Amino acid sequence: MSLLKYLVFGVAVAAGVNYATKKREDGRSLIDDLSDKAPEWMEKAKQYTDQFKGQFAQATGSATNQDNNVHTENPPY
């Protein structure tokens, strides 16, 4: 049963690689398209990372200020 599982997995991987590297009518493959668009996606990811860092800094800064206040109330649980 294990051999059959590995055989099916290998066939699926081979089919995926064949699909990704197969040239279309325009002479390009899916891998070519991905490699061309990768720099654009990296720039977008950097923008999202910077935005997230800014939001995280604001959230931790406000939480730190709240932690400095001493609360004498009982916890809500």
Is 72 domain-assigned? no
Percent of the chain with pLDDT strictly greater than 70: 79
Is 36 domain-assigned? yes
Q: Cα–Cα distance between 77 and 75 in angstroms, integer?
A: 6
Is 77 domain-assigned? no
Residue 65 has pLDDT above 50, yes or no: no
Tell me the average pLDDT of the chain.
Answer: 85
pLDDT on residue 72: 61
pLDDT on residue 32: 92
Structural domain that includes position 20: 2-63
Q: Cα–Cα distance between 22 and 14 in angstroms, integer?
A: 12
Is 57 domain-assigned? yes
- What is the domain count for the chain? 1
Determine if the pTM surpasses 0.75.
no
Is 75 domain-assigned? no
How do residues 32-57 score in pLDDT, each as one tens digit?
999 999 999 999 999 999 999 988 88
Query: Average pLDDT for residues 46-72, to the nearest whole number?
Result: 74
